[in-house]
Structures are given as structure tokens and as C-alpha cells.
Amino acid sequence: MRYRPLGKTGLQVSEISLGTVQLGLPYGLPDASGKLPSLSETEAMTIIHQALQAGINVLDTARSYGDSETIIGKALKKQSREVYVATKLDPLSEEMSDEELVKQIKDSIEGSRRALDRETIELMQVHNATVKLLKREALLDTLAYARGKEWIRFQGVTTYGVEAPQFALSQRYWHTVQVEFNLLNQSLLPIFEQAKEAQAGLIIRSAMLKGAIGSDSSTLPESLKALAEKTQGLPAYFDRKSLSVPQIALLFVLSHPQVATVLTGVIHPEQLQENLGALNTTLLSDAQLQVAKILDLGESALTDPRQWGF
């Protein structure tokens, strides 16, 4: 496992992190019957332990990810390795009063600390932060208070689109920013240098578009078949024929030096091993990254899982 600095936090984090939404609730691409994949607690714990044994030291979760925090808390008991947990506040509404906002933040942090069985949470993120929310002094003050109490060590944001992360980075208040970025949606690339200048750790999610990149097109809903078809020839396209499409997708993200870590969600241990295999080869060259731009579909309903309807 290779490690990279997480912005100005002083933490060294594994290039691949474990995203855990799928460990706490049904999540992913539906099967032929429309059912979403789900895991038992035992299966989820096995994946966490295998990830830790492989050198992954960041687990990303959220209050809204079902039983994910509780499962992580159980999995990390008696864990001797240093592991960093990044979770997210319960979603905040722009319409909340200051009093409501403060109460929800404190209640959410306390709920996470209990579920994770952790006195201090390494990274607390504002879930789906908007510019309007990020301007709220009550938000900034309450997170500063939580840091002073040592309930959390660092704070970050998860965002959609370009405007919110750009604004967050301009504030110079956030230790990390989490954004979507992949071969088919490279619209966030302009903020990469901004993150470097702000010394903010850049966390990437959706590297495989919820599993659509690398899936067999015959198993996907009709509306998503184009995503798999567009990427099925990637190993030959980049002259990496020994790699799978998901491995190429991860390698593409990791080939941007501003990236601190990329979240990977898995349903089967075999998927975890496949993801780790992306680290056993050289990164893409600058010339190959330029060529990859031809695959970029930008922000659209096709590249935004929130608009897929499941």
C-alpha cells in the first residue's frame, strides 16, 4: 500500500480508502429483479478486516449510512493498526435556524461517537454541503467548538458540482473536500490545483460511478448501458491489457497527484482484491491523461447517480 498526505492534517492516508455505505444498507446497482445488493454484518466485518490487513487506513461512513457506523465500531475493537474514521453529519437544511443547526450538529457528532465507540473522530464532514450552508457562522463555530472539546480532530465537506467545493476551498477553513471524479465526469478537475494551494486533502468518490464503469452492459438498466459500453475497451485504450476496467478507472484518479485518497466501495472480497491490484502498476502518463479527456461526458443525468432513479 502507498500513502499520501491528507492536506495539512499531518495524516498519511492510504491511496485507496474503504467507502462503507454498502456495508450499512442496500446500495449499488439493482439486479434483474430491481433488488439492490446488501450484506450481512458478518460479510461487512470481513471486508473491513481484509481492507485493514491490506494497509487501508481510512474508512469513510456517515450517520445516514444505515448500520455502517455501528459495524465499523465493532470491527475496530481491539484493532492495533492506526485507522482513521471519516464520517459525516446528518444532512443539514439551509432553512434551519441557528439553534436547530447547532443542536443537530452536536447530536449528530454524539451519535457518531457512540456508534463508532470512539472518543475522538478523526474527520467530521458536512454532508452534501452547499454554499449557503458553508456561509453559516453557526456551522463554523459549532465545528470549532467540537474540535476544542476533542470530539473531532479535523473537519471537511462533501459536495456536488463545482461551486460548493470552490467556495469551501476559498474559505481556507476546511481540512478536506470530497468530490465526485471519474473518467466519464472530469468536471471537478479545475478545483484540483485550488485544493493543493489551500492545503486541503482531496478525497475522491464515485471513481467507478457506483459500479457502472466496469460492469457488463447486459446487466445494467437500459438507461445506463452507454456508460459501460463507453469504457469497456479501456485496458487496450491505455495499453494496460493486464488490468481490468475498474483498475484502470482507479488508476486514472490516482494519476492526479493532488488526490490524497480515492474511496472504493465493495460488495465482495474479490472486488477489494481487484481494486488493490490497481496499485501494482505505474500511474498513467500526462499524455495518457490528456487522451482520457475524450471520455469525459461532464456533468449530466447520465453521470450523476442521484438522477438514476434507484
Count: domains in the chain: 1
Asked which of 28-42, 47-61, 265-279 is least confident by mean pLDDT, the reply is: 28-42
Residue 35 identity? K
pLDDT tens digits for range 161-179: 999 999 999 998 999 999 9
Q: How high does pLDDT run on average in the chain?
A: 94
Q: What percent of the chain has pLDDT over 90?
A: 79
257-292 as b/e, with b when 16 or more CB fall inside 10 Å?
A: ebbbbbbbbbbeeebbebbbbbbeeeebeeebbeeb
Model pLDDT, residue 288: 92
Model pLDDT, residue 222: 83
CATH of the domain at 58: 3.20.20.100
Model pLDDT, residue 219: 79
Angle at CA of residue 6, ends 107 and 244, nearest 5° = 105
114 pLDDT exceeds 80? yes
Model pLDDT, residue 227: 85
As a whole number, mean pLDDT of residues 234-243 equals 89
Which residues, including other chains, have CB under 8 Å from residue 159's CB and lie 6 or more apart?
128, 129, 130, 165, 168, 177, 178, 179
Angle at CA of residue 224, ends 308 and 266, nearest 5° = 80
pTM beyond 0.75: yes
309 pLDDT exceeds 90? no
In this prediction, residue 232 has a pLDDT band, given cuts at 50, 70 and 90, of: confident
310 pLDDT exceeds 80? no
In this prediction, residue 244 has a pLDDT band, given cuts at 50, 70 and 90, of: very high
Which residues, including other chains, have CB under 8 Å from residue 211's CB and lie 6 or more apart?
28, 29, 265
As a whole number, mean pLDDT of residues 79-90 equals 92
Range of the domain at 239: 3-307
The dihedral of CA 21, 22, 24, 25: what is its sign? positive
